[in-house]
Amino acid sequence: MLQTYHTEFLTGTIFNWEHLLVSDAFKNIIISSFEWLVQKKKCTINAFVIMPNHIHMLWKISDGFDREDVQGALFSFTAHEFKRHLKTKDAITLQKYSVKSSDRDYQFWEREPMVKECWTQKFFRQKLNYIHFNPCQQHWNLAGSPEEYKWSSAFFYETGIKSFSWLSHFNDY
């Protein structure tokens, strides 16, 4: 039986914490996957950030869908596209992800992404701020302010301007 989900904070990490997501090509693969999931009405996405070796997002799985299926679609599609890109552009980097396990030849994401349900508005806002300020942390230093970082929902929350058509403000529902 499928259940109704609350908004969730999800963290997905690249295998061995490699900095695969430095390249905009890989960030765009993730953005395409987000867009597809929302267009297919499998989820709503309220916030996200794509960091060099991980992603964070606040999302809600749509009623009638199973979290494992939707989450699996996100990570499976992106892994397939990462592999396809690396096969044609960077075979040496591809070898970093070679695992030769019983169920796969390559692994791009750490298994068991972290998922925490947002039971309270306080927890949701805490995670929203964490997501948006992540690129500004001293050890990353990717942006001077959250809204300056292109690969995040911070600009949308700061200005109201949608750079990503599939993104939903948490007040919209």
**Which tens digits make up the pLDDT trace of 4-29?**
789 999 999 999 999 999 999 999 99
* Residue 105, pLDDT score: 94
Domains of the chain: 8-172 (3.30.70.1290)
Residue 33 CA: distances (Å) to CA of 3, 38, 126: 23, 9, 25
Task: Specify whether the CB–CB gap between 15 and 107 falls below 8 A.
Answer: yes
Please provide the average confidence, as pLDDT, over all residues in the chain. Answer: 96
Q: What is the pLDDT of residue 172?
A: 63
